[in-house]
Amino acid sequence: MVCGDDIIIFSDKNITWPESTDNISELAWKRWYNRAIEESVKQIRKADTSIRKNPQAIFADAKCEHRIPIELPPIDRRRVHGICVTTGGEQAAASYFDDPDGTFMIMPFLRGKDHVDFTRPHHMPFCIGDVDPDGPFVHVFNMATLDVVMSEFDTITDFTKYLNARADIIRSGRLSFSPSETEMVANYLQTIGPDGEHRFPMTSDVRGAKFDSDMAIAFVQGEYACLVHSPEYQRREAANRTSYEWDRLIGFFTHHVLNGTQFRILDTDPTVELAERGLRIMAREDRVQRRALASAIIGARKALEEQKAGRLTRIAVTRDRSTNEKVAYVFLVLAGANSMEQENYRRVRAMILETYCLATLHDDCDIKLCVGIAVMAISEEGESEDLIAIPQQKWTPKDIEELSVARKNFDVLQKPLKLKTIPFHVHATSFPPDPAFEGMSRQQRRALERQRAKQQGRVR
């Protein structure tokens, strides 16, 4: 899996516990660890070496006939993550810890062979730290914890951000212990840095407290359970529902690309390469960004109906999550699908969409790529959506003249100097604020929080 500068290499093992789960011996743990985890580490290290030496020999099929249509990031910028997914030891772990979860504890002081060295102080089986300290960081999950991680961080950008932060805190010495992966997830989700991004907590987050420079933090059991039952989490889930329209569009376009069923537009035969540029940018948007982008599309379709207009366009400017280059999205809603031949409707809509994209690129040469998405009006029958991606270009006098004619013919952005785009550098956080607090001062919010706590029988 590749996302920007991040490469993720998976290795999964289903290894049955070698003895009765009532007998968690040192030998049983060593045997299981070596087969379930150490072998995965070797596979991941071998795959990483192979990618470095021969990056052209990566294929999308078992017969090695079709190379993956993705360029790997340069080695000097590349971040490689190993993910070991191991199953078969859950029941033994549950028996050892007397905990039905059967998941691993996180103990960062364990490095490499320390995991099977029972002479080390505080050593226990089913505790995982840095399993390959001399290579790319290898994250060890079982299926239950991987499901939690991938459901909470369900975009490739959110997922790789979590992996990067997780590797950093384990290797940095800032974390001493976590009872489970879910508590890692809870602490990461609930901590937001000054830049608005999630991160793990640090000792400096405790105001006024004095700590030794080598002091590490520890997480406690139960934080994730409290989080998922909190009002803040429910608001986050509700806010995310809108963003799934963005996921649907990615899935829709990808399906037609992979099955060769794309509609021919702009007198160009659809190809994987043409669509991949736009889909890659769309897929790199994180969950919070997808909320805003999906809201722009949904809002445009609703506004078209309310205004009883023939077409409505919204333009959003954002940043590529990998390169930080300026990227624009053009969302076009065009009525008339029921009153025109389908082919004519799609052709006209594509030409208008292309004109908007080119005009956007011309009027802001800092934009490196413009992704255009065209959809039907809500009230019209059927479903058709088009995707185009146009990179920035060197504008010749002929290009500018042709664009000027198209802008006039389609009445597109006739006053380019007054072009207004939405600066989608999203300031929204993963957890939307309580709407009841809107317009309140900090003192009023705290008073309301105390009142709610008393009503619920809690003491803060």
Classify residue 203 by its DSSP letter: G
- Check whether residue 223 and residue 304 sit in a common domain: no
- Check whether residue 90 and residue 238 sit in a common domain: no
Nearest 5°: phi and psi at 55?
A: -65, -15
- Check whether residue 283 and residue 301 sit in a common domain: yes
Q: Are 218 and 451 in contact (CB under 8 A)?
A: no
Give Cα 442 distance to the centre of its chain: 32
**Between 361 and 122, the higher pLDDT residue:** 361
Task: Please give the average per-residue pLDDT across 344-354, as a whole number.
Answer: 92
Per-residue model confidence as pLDDT tens digits over 274-288: 677 889 899 999 999
- Check whether residue 263 and residue 289 sit in a common domain: yes
User: What pLDDT is attached to residue 273?
Assistant: 67
Where does the pLDDT of residue 90 fall: very low under 50, low under 70, confident under 90, or very high at 90 and above?
A: very high
Q: Which domain holds residue 450?
A: 430-460
Classify residue 93 by its DSSP letter: H
Is a pLDDT exceeding 90 seen at residue 153? yes
- Check whether residue 57 and residue 141 sit in a common domain: yes
Taking the C-alpha atoms of 369, 242, 337 and 347 in order, what is their torsion angle to the nearest 10 degrees? 10
Q: Residue 141 and residue 181: Cα distance in Å, rounded?
A: 8
Task: Please give the average per-residue pLDDT across 387-394, as a whole number.
Answer: 93
Per-residue model confidence as pLDDT tens digits over 219-235: 999 999 999 999 999 99
- Check whether residue 135 and residue 26 sit in a common domain: yes
- Check whether residue 262 and residue 189 sit in a common domain: no
Taking the C-alpha atoms of 107, 110, 113 and 117 in order, what is their torsion angle to the nearest 10 degrees? -80
User: What pLDDT is attached to residue 268?
Assistant: 65
User: What pLDDT is attached to residue 101?
Assistant: 85
Q: Write out the H or E segment, with its range, that includes residue 165.
A: helix 156-172
- Check whether residue 286 and residue 404 sit in a common domain: yes
- Check whether residue 220 and residue 357 sit in a common domain: no
- Check whether residue 245 and residue 195 sit in a common domain: no
Is a pLDDT exceeding 70 seen at residue 209? no
Q: Are 283 and 250 in contact (CB under 8 A)?
A: yes
* Model pTM score: 0.87
Where does the pLDDT of residue 60 fall: very low under 50, low under 70, confident under 90, or very high at 90 and above?
A: confident
Q: Residue 401 and residue 395: Cα distance in Å, rounded?
A: 10
Q: Write out the H or E segment, with its range, that includes residue 226.
A: helix 223-228
Q: Residue 287 and residue 382: Cα distance in Å, rounded?
A: 28
- Check whether residue 282 and residue 363 sit in a common domain: yes
Q: Residue 89 and residue 103: Cα distance in Å, rounded?
A: 9
**Interacting residues of 401 by C-beta distance below 8 A, sequence separation 6+:** none
Taking the C-alpha atoms of 205, 207, 211 and 215 in order, what is their torsion angle to the nearest 10 degrees? -20
Domain count, the chain: 3
Q: Residue 292 and residue 287: Cα distance in Å, rounded?
A: 9
Compute the mean pLDDT over every residue in the chain, rounded to the nearest whole number: 86
Q: Could you give the percent of the chain with pLDDT greater than 70?
A: 86
Burial 70-103 (b: 16+ CB within 10 A, else e): eeebeeeebbbbbbbbbbbbbebbbbbbeeebbb
Is a pLDDT exceeding 70 seen at residue 129? yes
Q: Residue 82 and residue 132: Cα distance in Å, rounded?
A: 10
